[in-house]
């Protein structure tokens, strides 16, 4: 019985760049979650409320997501 051709036409799987994009996406999500936890607790400890709290937590979340996503993409690229 012949094997049906998959999404990737050469049946070799996703390319290295596709794997790096996936690694970045996963790392970004993990960084967002950890940034929400750590940034939220530290902002509450400093006594921030309202708009200052939201701005500070949002900034920490994006920084954590970008940093962790970049490192995950680099690590995935090394493994390719």
* Domain ranges, ordered by start, for the chain: 16-79
Q: Is the pLDDT of residue 9 over 70?
A: no
* Distance (Å, whole) CA 29 – CA 32: 5
| Whether the predicted pLDDT of 32 surpasses 70 | yes
What would the pLDDT profile of 44-57 be if each residue is shown by its tens digit? 999 989 999 999 99
Residue 75 · residue 16 · CB < 8 Å: no
Note the pTM of the prediction, 2 decimals: 0.79
Average pLDDT over residues 5-34: 86
Higher-scoring residue by pLDDT: 9, 73: 73
Beta carbons within 8 Å of 14's beta carbon, 6+ residues apart:
8, 22
d(CA 18, CA 65): 19
CB-based contacts of 70: which residues, under 8 Å, 6+ apart? 24, 27
């Amino acid at each position: 019985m012949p094997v049906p051709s998959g999404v990737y036409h050469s049946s070799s799987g996703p390319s290295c760049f596709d794997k790096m994009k996936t690694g970045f996406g996963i790392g970004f999500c993990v960084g967002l979650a950890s940034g929400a936890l750590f940034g939220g607790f530290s902002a509450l400890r400093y006594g921030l409320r309202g708009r200052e709290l939201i701005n500070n937590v949002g900034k920490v979340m994006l920084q954590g997501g970008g940093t962790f996503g970049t490192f995950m993409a680099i690590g995935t690229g090394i493994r390719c």
